Structure formats: structure tokens, C-alpha cells
Amino acid sequence: MLNSLNAEHLHLLLNHFPTVGYAVGLGLFLVALFQKSSELKQASLVIFIVIALISIPTYLSGNAANFALKEKAELSESMLQAHQDAALLGLIFMELTGLFAWLEIWRIRYVARPMNWNLMVVIVMSLATFGLMARAANIGGELRHPEIRPATESSAWPQTAVMAKAFVIENPWVWPAAEIFHFIGLTMIFGTVLLVNLRLLGIINHVSFDSVYRLLPWGIAGFIINFISGMLFFVAVPDQYTQNSGFARKMVLLVMAAVTMIYPTVFDRLSDLKAEDTAPVQNKVIAGASIALWVAVIFFGRYLPYIGSE
Amino acid sequence: MLSLLNQIEQSGLATWIHESGSLWGYPLVLFLHTLGFGTLVGINAAIDLRLLGFGAGIPLKSFEKTFRMMWGGFALNAVTGSLLFIADATKHATNPSFYVKLVFVAAGLFTLTRIRKNVFHASGKNESATLRQAKILGAISLGCWLIVITAARLMAYIAEYINA
């Protein structure tokens, strides 16, 4: 599915989300803060979350493109590496921005008292992310346009991707530890997903939706654990994953599955479901799809070594 | 003993699971094993959290129906686990990590039955004692499953170490 040539294409398509799309979200967010518009603020936070999710396949597709471009002599290897290092740093900040944006939306709905520090974190992180992503995009652009490339390359920035790879490869305990954590995260996510969606489907009943959905932070914690442990696998042997057809499928399904998990944080409707209420039919459909998507994510994760490089 | 294990390993079914190379052989059994584990431990861990005081708004009785699912997950894993065992009988039978895993699966399941009996179906006479016991059982349960996951993940590494 992700063969080398269209990996470049896919990356060129996706890389507009963490840059252009993100700039739109940031603009809205700043306007919302000045106008003190809570609706606009919520909308921009949702944009941050969605773009944080899309940034995951964007980064991964960059590695796939990198694999394809290695053969081409006209591209400077040190610049490819610099782009990748900048992108990984940007990705880390992007995911943190997405996480704190989610926390802010969660707070608005479930925690009555304000947490001013959290909004401050979102402001600082979102601005830093924008700067880092712009830098990654800039180096990326120069890859294809040597005429705008500056004569000297700065090397004061951390070699994030190089260091992450070395960390996993040089410490033999990291991979098994990441495997253990990846399975711990799996149970945290899957347990939460099952219970929340079984409530929507009516199989678990006599309980308000909100009571069950309060488990979500547990599932989000699992997601964080699995993002970190999964990225450790990926940065160590990126080609093993980008050249695997099952991996691309897993990532596409993962983004969709994550959306089905967090959308009730944003929309009011489900929060109105009291203990004896039945969920609307469309939410039941999404609940069924959510379970199926997570099962499919586990399926492709488990099948990775076997459908490998067909 | 070893010859018995060898015989198991060379039975038609075991050979097919391991050596057919079919995508619907070994990988499928492994996937179903993960699914059963995710169902049993995923829900059980959420119940443990509730017992430890997280998400206190969820009435315990709303978990009642999930016991059947957890036992379903366990049944799936008893079957798929046996299939995975016979496919590599000699390797697993000599792996200490495998026995650690089995012991703590048993301990985790036993704890789950205690949770159901002593917390879900508590007589209601002594609430603070029930609450205290719920917390202890929840912590023991989480600990058991944590050990199960760790031992299970380390099986491949320990097998490599032993056979090196």
C-alpha cells in the first residue's frame, strides 16, 4: 500500500496539515483568546487534536519517502537527516500540544474549576510547535529546491531522530521494555474502548454515559504509553515498518479509531445520556465501528511480522 | 516427559499451526490470543481502577454484565493458549517465564472471582471493611496482570537466552 513512490506523494500531501492546517488552528486559537470566545477556543483546540493525530502518519510517511529518496544522489543526505531531526522534534511538541488541548476540552466538560496553568501550557506549546514545524517544513522545502538553500547548515539543533535511534539500538533493554509497555497500553486503551462503547450500545446499562466516559483519561494514558513505545520501535528500524504493508493500514485505522474514542469529549449530545437513556442510533453505529477499528488495529499490529514485506 | 512434549509438538495440528506458513495458522491464533487478553485484562483493569477509587461515579452493578465477557476472553485464551503451547511444546515447557505467566494468570483469575464474591456481592453489613478489601483486591489484581504481561513479553527473550 505504501510503496516507495507514492510514499513521497503521500508525504507531500500530508505535510500540509502540520504546517498550513496547524497555522489556521493557531490563528483561530489566538483570536479566540483575544476575543474571549469560548466556542472559538474549543474549535481551535479540536483542530489541534485532529492535526496532532494526522501528524503521526505525516511523520511516518516522511520516513517512507526518505527510503525512496535514498537512491537519489542529488538529495543531500545530511539535509534529509536534518529535516527528519527537525520533524521529530516538531512531532513531539505537536503531540504535547494535542494532549494539552484535549486536557483543556476535558477540563471544560468534566472539571468545574479552572486550570489556568493548562491553558498557559497550550499557548506556549502551540507557539513552540508552530516554530518547530515551520523549521522542519523549511528544511524539507529546501530538499527539493536547492536554489533557496543557504550556503551553510546550522548544526546547533539536537539530532533528535539520530539520538532516538541510537538510544534504542545501543540499549538492549529498551526494545523488550517497550514491548511490555506497548501491551500494557493496549489493555488500557482496549478496556476503556470496550466499556465506553458497550454503554453506547446498551449492553452495559443503568449508568449515565458520563460516568463511564470518566474512564477516558485511563485510555488516553494508554494511548500516550503506546505512542511513545511505538515510536521507539519505529525510530530504531523505520524501514522495517515503512516497507510493511500492514503498518500503513494499522496507522490509518489507528487515526480513525482514535477519533471514535475522543469525539464524545467534544460533542454535547452523549453527555446528556442519563442512566436509563438509550444512545442515538448513529452513536451506536460509531460505537460498533470503534470496537471494530480497535480490533483491526490490534490485528494489523499482531500480523506485522507475518504479512511483512509481501 | 520430553518425548511426550516432542510427540505433542509433532502432532498434525501442532505442525500445521507452526509450519503451514498460512496467515490463518499461527498469526491468527496469536491475534486471537491478544484479543482475548485485551478483553479480559482490559476490562478487569478498569474494574480494579474503580475499586481503587478512580471513576467512582460508575455504579459497580453496571460492570455485572462484563464478567461474562471477561470469562469469554479467558475461554478464548485457554483455547488459543493451548494451541500456541502445543506448537512449541518443548520450548515453552522449558521456559521459566512461561510458568510465571501461568501462575499469575491463575492468581489474577482467582482474584477476579474474589472481587465478584466479596465486593460485587458483598453482604453489605460492614461497608468500610468491604471498601478496604475492594482496594486491596484491586491492587493485587493489577499487580497480577502486570506480572502476566511482563512474563509473557519476556518469554521469547528468555527462550533465546536459555537456548543460546
H or E segment and range at residue A25? helix A22-35
Angle (nearest 5°) at CA A10 between A4 and A13: 150
* Number of Cβ pairs < 8 A linking chain A and chain B: 101
Interchain pair B59, A306: CB under 8 A? no
Following CA atoms A74, A77, A82, A85 in sequence, which dihedral angle do they give, to the nearest 10 degrees?
130
Residues of A in contact with B153 (CB under 8 A): 176, 179-180, 183
pLDDT in tens, chain B (164 residues): 678 888 888 887 888 777 777 778 889 999 999 999 999 999 999 999 999 988 777 888 888 889 999 999 999 999 999 999 998 888 899 899 999 999 999 999 999 999 999 888 887 777 788 888 999 999 999 999 999 999 999 999 998 888 77
Q: Which residues of A fall within a CB distance of 8 Å from B52?
A: none
In chain B, which residues have their Cβ closer than 8 Å to the Cβ of A184? 146, 149
C-alpha cell at A285: 453505529
Q: Mean pLDDT, consecutive 10-residue segments, chain A of 310 residues?
A: 64 88 92 90 93 93 82 74 90 94 89 82 92 89 71 70 92 95 97 95 88 92 96 93 89 94 84 86 94 96 79
Condensed to tens digits (0 to 9), the pLDDT of residues B110-144 reads 999 999 998 888 877 777 888 889 999 999 999 99
Nine-digit cell string for A212: 463511564
Nearest residue, CB atoms, A194 vs list B37, B43, B58? B43
Which pLDDT score, from 0 to 100, does residue A26 have? 93
Compute the nearest-CA separation of A46 from chain B (Å): 24
Q: How far is CA A281 from the centre of its chain?
A: 28
Across the interface, of A176, A191, A215, the residue whose CB is closest to B154 is: A176
Would you call B49 and A215 a contact, using CB atoms and an 8 Å cutoff? Answer: yes
Q: Per residue in A183-204, is it b (16+ CB within 10 Å) or e — as a string?
A: bbbbbbbbbbbbbbbbbbbeeb
Give per-residue burial for A42-63: e unless 16+ CB within 10 Å, then b: bebbbbbbbbbbbbbbbbbbbb
Q: Which residues of B84-105 are buried (b: 16+ CB within 10 A; e: fewer)?
A: bbbbbbebbbebebbebbeebb
Q: What is the CA radius of gyration of chain B?
A: 19
Contact A98, A49 (CB under 8 A): yes
